[in-house]
Amino acid sequence: MHAQLLTRSKLFCVCATAGEDLPNTRTCPVCLGHPGALPVLNPEAARMAVRAGTAFGGALHHTSRFARKHYFYPDLPKGYQITQYERPFCTGGALRFRLPDGTDGHAAFERIHLEEDAGKLLHDGSRVRADYNRSGIPLLEIVTQPVLASPEAAVAFLQELRRVLMYLGISDGSMERASFRCDANVSLRDNSGTPGQRTEIKNLNSFRHIEHALHWEISRQRELHAAGMDVQPVTLLWDEAGKAGRIMRGKESAADYHYLDDPDLPEMSIHDEEMEIAAGSLPELPLIRAARFVAAFGLTKYDADVLTGARLVADYFEEILASFPDGIRLSMATAAAHWVGGEVLAMMKEQASEVIPVPASHLALLLEHVAAGSISRTASKQVFDRMWRSGEHPDHVIAALDLRQISDADSLRTLAGQILKAHPAQVQAYRDGKKGLLGFFMQKILVLSQGKADPLMSSSILSALLESERQEPGESAGRRSDPEEEIPGRGGVRP
């Protein structure tokens, strides 16, 4: 896996990693490979790498070495890529993740190292043009051991890896921009368990494509075995539209690259203090946080997973909880989880927003209003929508939109009476046994009240009126006391 590190400048020069998007505007003699230009390591990239190595529990080495990996390609003007080879800064490490069947997975790593990205070729009809803005951007490369036993396990692993790198604040995890991508290696074990020849599918940057490509390659290798043919060591490109892989070239062996220690760069040294800082500043990782949400707040595993999908969202949820008064915090946790996992995530998606503009304390207040029954859940969505867009306080929005819930029994009984009177045939049908018609009357009362009728109270009042044989619908509405007695704990004026 390759993850682009979120540094502001490139790995060995001061060119910006983001910003101006015109081709070849973020380049300099170092990242263009001009003769005599000397690389200087960006310490921030090293710090981020150490953070990752620490989080994955790898063995961090006090000294490591950059090497040149030689190959010719027009996106690589130096003729070699600077990477780490014999002496990476981190060996080992592992990631725990959840397999699709809900059991725990554990993927052990071979190594983690730093390297620079290459440029990009733009194919334009018969012309090919080169853009070197990406040359020299820092990448973290993570190599697992061959421990993932199915395409589904591979995807589950990658999803968790991406989530952890984002939690660590060292990757934006964007697969569209290819800042998180993988080269997937596939080999089939024979009956004795010995792994066969492996092949590599390059540059996959969508979970769906990864899953399709792996299934395809596994079938291809199975067919070769069945036909008594050998699997060749090849590198493939995946074509999602055609749902097929294409063999690019025979797979290079390490010897093909003529690795050599880069004489322009000294050893990379990681001091004890840097390791201590990294260890001391690790955030709570998502699986651990999700388990805490279940244990501490009584959330379901599903809700906890949704909330911990992104650190920003999990932080926001906890901020909301902190905004509730002590006495109600725990009882509001599930409602808050559903709001954040539902409305907030939906809005972020709809607006393609990476921030949540509604202060957590405002949303907490809105949720308290819903819990107290002063506005309906339906109306609360309208309020939230406006809070998101205008930044207004929930109380202002509720007042401005006149959304206070109708929860006094007299008003609701009057509304219910009007509705029953207007639909005598349905009333008769209900009394003849079609109890499902209650939904029809509920719908009418919500429309008539413009969504403001308290649904629970309305439903009780409607049932009570409908069950009452002694009265014609609509008559003396509001004069009976029995409906109210079915509504424990609700407000309203007793007749």
Find the shortest distance in angstroms from Cβ 24 to Zn ion: 11
Q: What residues between 459 and 478 interact with Zn ion by CB under 5 A?
A: none
Find the shortest distance in angstroms from Cβ 186 to Zn ion: 36
Stretch that binds Zn ion, among 14-22, 65-73, 105-113, 326-334 (CB under 5 A): 14-22
Terminus-to-terminus CA distance in the chain, angstroms? 71
Based on CB atoms, which residue is closest to Zn ion, 119 or 173? 119
Find the shortest distance in angstroms from Cβ 37 to Zn ion: 9
CB atoms within 10 A of CB 244: 14
Stretch that binds Zn ion, among 22-30, 50-58, 178-186, 415-423 (CB under 5 A): 22-30
Q: How distant is the alpha carbon of residue 244 from its chain centre?
A: 28
Stretch that binds Zn ion, among 13-21, 232-240, 320-328, 434-442 (CB under 5 A): 13-21
Find the shortest distance in angstroms from Cβ 77 to Zn ion: 11
Residue 257 CA to residue 192 CA, distance in Å, equals 33
Q: Return phi, psi of residue 314, to 5°.
A: -65, -40
Does residue 13 bind Zn ion (CB under 5 A)?
Answer: yes
CB atoms within 10 A of CB 308: 23
Find the shortest distance in angstroms from Cβ 185 to Zn ion: 32
Residue 483 CA to residue 495 CA, distance in Å, equals 11
Stretch that binds Zn ion, among 9-17, 206-214, 245-253, 366-374 (CB under 5 A): 9-17
Does residue 11 bind Zn ion (CB under 5 A)?
Answer: no
Find the shortest distance in angstroms from Cβ 23 to Zn ion: 14
Pick one of 3, 6, 11, 15: the residue that binds Zn ion (CB under 5 A).
Answer: 15
Q: Among residues 315, 334, 481, 339, which one has the least CA distance to residue 413?
A: 481
Based on CB atoms, which residue is closest to Zn ion, 37 or 147? 37
Residue 303 CA to residue 295 CA, distance in Å, equals 12
Three-class SS state of 22? coil
Q: What residues between 26 and 65 interact with Zn ion by CB under 5 A?
A: 28, 30-31
Question: Which secondary structure element, helix H or strand E, spans residue 81, and what is its range?
Answer: strand 80-83
Sheet architecture: strand order including 80-83: 80-83, 67-70, 260-261
Find the shortest distance in angstroms from Cβ 82 to Zn ion: 12
Phi-psi region of 229 (alpha: psi -120 to 50; beta: other; left: phi over 0): beta
Stretch that binds Zn ion, among 7-15, 147-155, 259-267, 459-467 (CB under 5 A): 7-15
Three-class SS state of 284? coil
CB atoms within 10 A of CB 18: 15
Based on CB atoms, which residue is closest to Zn ion, 15 or 153? 15
Size of site (CB under 5 A) for Zn ion? 5
Residue 45 CA to residue 492 CA, distance in Å, equals 63
Based on CB atoms, which residue is closest to Zn ion, 137 or 314? 137
Based on CB atoms, which residue is closest to Zn ion, 25 or 63? 25
Residue 60 CA to residue 92 CA, distance in Å, equals 9
Based on CB atoms, which residue is closest to Zn ion, 38 or 59? 38
Based on CB atoms, which residue is closest to Zn ion, 137 or 299? 137
Which residues are near Zn ion by CB under 5 A? 13, 15, 28, 30-31
